[in-house]
Amino acid sequence: MTKPPLDILLCAPRGFCAGVVRAIDAVEKALAMHGAPVYVRHEIVHNKYVVESLRRKGAVFVAELSEVPDTTRPVIFSAHGVPKSVPAEAASRTLFAIDATCPLVTKVHREAEVHHKRGRHILLVGHAGHPEVIGTMGQLPPGAITLIETLDDVARLPPPADQPLAYVTQTTLSVDDTRGIVQALQTRFPELIAPHKEDICYATTNRQEAVKRVAPLVDGLLVVGSPNSSNSQRLREVAERAGCPSARLVLRADEIDWSIFGAIKRLGITAGASAPEVLVEEIIDAFAERYEVSVETVSTADESVFFPLPRELRGEPAPNAAE
């Protein structure tokens, strides 16, 4: 039986960002240097495939440091960043802590600290409950930061007290939604102090731009990524707003709902910053079993960002360390 034709437009850049590569490399390097187990506080990045493959190599994922029984084993903090209470607890127990927080998240932490030192109240634009937001709010004492999630939150903010205001944002937000919220904040608070450089990171911005280019050209778009990945969810929303009739988030090929792809002629594919390229390939292969696929890459930016490993992991592996 002949297969129907399908043009796949692959968004570029897509998939792993420099912060995710660094965090995964940190766990692998810790395993190579110190052997298993290596403890990791929370999912190192929001992707089950990545977490499971590290688990098989000897990583042990824990929700809290109290679950780390052995103070001689490395414990790694995830790329999303942690509240200050976490390294403080690690120090009080003399744990062997390694911080894999993305340097672009750390930049936001430092900005918030500087504003606080200068007597400013901080507005954090972000999503409640996301680990990055928990980490950023946890850099300062309670009450120093107010979380802003929506335009309604801006309208509900009380009139400014006798304290200057500054804002910072989560790194993985929708560029367009955030622009709207920041404009509303600036309208209400014209003296509002902005970050020197955008907090939404290069990877989030570039992946959203590529999706905006592809979305109007395709009948459907798949975002390879996890439901708990903020930047992946934003890519799905961006695709729909940019004119794609159907945008879905999918973790693996076996999750694809084939019933929605009946008469499709052109499909866009992208991947969130925590989704490995091997899963994109798996999904293209699954389409190739059902369609006569031709694949074209639509590129909107080149990326060459690289972050070195945390200092504790820059040495050579021990000669007889476990795989």
Q: Is 105 an interacting residue with respect to ligand SF4 (CB under 6 A)?
A: yes
Classify the phi-psi angles of 129: left when phi > 0, otherwise alpha if psi is within -120 to 50, otherwise beta: left
Closer to ligand SF4 at the Cβ: 136 or 283? 136
Q: How is residue 131 written in tokens? A: 């680990």
- Nearest Cα neighbor of 81 from 170, 203, 193 is 170
Active-site residue 132, yes or no?
A: yes
Q: Is 172 an interacting residue with respect to ligand SF4 (CB under 6 A)?
A: yes
Using the rule CB under 6 A, give the single segment among 15-23, 52-60, 62-70, 87-95 that binds ligand SF4.
15-23
Q: Is 17 an interacting residue with respect to ligand SF4 (CB under 6 A)?
A: yes
Catalytic residue among 28, 43, 111, 132: 132
Q: How is residue 280 written in tokens? A: 């994109």
Residues 37-96 that bind ligand SF4 (CB under 6 A): 79
Question: Nearest distance from residue 23's CB to ligand SF4, in Å?
Answer: 7
Burial class (CB in 10 A: 0-12, 13-18, 19+), 110: exposed
Contacts of 183 (CB under 8 A, 6+ apart): none
Question: Nearest distance from residue 85's CB to ligand SF4, in Å?
Answer: 21
Could you say which of 20, 90, 95, 244 contacts ligand SF4 (CB under 6 A)?
20
Q: Please state whether beta strands 292-299 and 5-12 pair in parallel, antiparallel, or not at all (unpaired).
A: parallel
d(CA 208, CA 202): 10
Q: Is 271 an interacting residue with respect to ligand SF4 (CB under 6 A)?
A: no
**Beta bridge mates, 77:** 41, 99
d(CA 24, CA 20): 6
Question: Nearest distance from residue 86's CB to ligand SF4, in Å?
Answer: 17
CA distances 198 to 107, 209, 211, Å, are 11, 15, 20
Q: Is 169 an interacting residue with respect to ligand SF4 (CB under 6 A)?
A: no
Closer to ligand SF4 at the Cβ: 7 or 206? 206
Q: Is 171 an interacting residue with respect to ligand SF4 (CB under 6 A)?
A: yes
The number of residues that bind ligand SF4 (CB under 6 A) is: 15
* Residues near ligand SF4 (CB under 6 A): 17-20, 79, 102, 104-105, 171-172, 201, 203-204, 231, 273
Q: Which residues are tagged catalytic?
A: 132
